[in-house]
Amino acid sequence: MFTPKYPTPDTAPTPVPATPQPAAPAPVVPTVPAPVAPAAPAPVPARPTVQLTAGSTLALVGGGTAVVLVVGAVLVSMLLAVAITAVSVAVCAVVLKSMLNQQGK
């Protein structure tokens, strides 16, 4: 099922050997030196300018505000989780210390 299927050798095309053609000699053309033109400065490419309209500015401000609020909410929730864990560990430590003190008396 997963083995490759190759064509039978008799259906594969046979390569045709290419016979090299004799190269014809290039005709000799007399060259005349071209007049040298003064070097022109390279054209400055036109850079696209970004035009902000009132709507696009409002969209940028709204998007930035949304990103800041989402990141802030995630960071605050992580800080809250760490604080709750720390308080619960502290309460457990106090309870264990109290139980060990009671047992010693």
Position 96 pLDDT exceeds 70: yes
- Could you read off the pLDDT of 36-94 as tens digits, one per residue? 666 667 676 677 777 888 899 999 999 999 999 999 999 999 999 999 999 999 999 99
pLDDT band at 13 (very low <50, low <70, confident <90, very high): low
More confident residue, 76 or 8: 76
Plot region of 36 (φ>0 → left; ψ -120 to 50 → alpha; else → beta): beta
* Rounded Cα distance, 26 and 13, in Å: 37
Of residues 41, 19, 90, the one with CA closest to residue 98: 90
Q: How many C-beta atoms surround the C-beta of residue 13 within 10 A?
A: 6
Residue 31 structure tokens? 């060259």
- Residue 44, sorted as left (phi over 0), alpha (psi -120 to 50) or beta, turns out to be beta
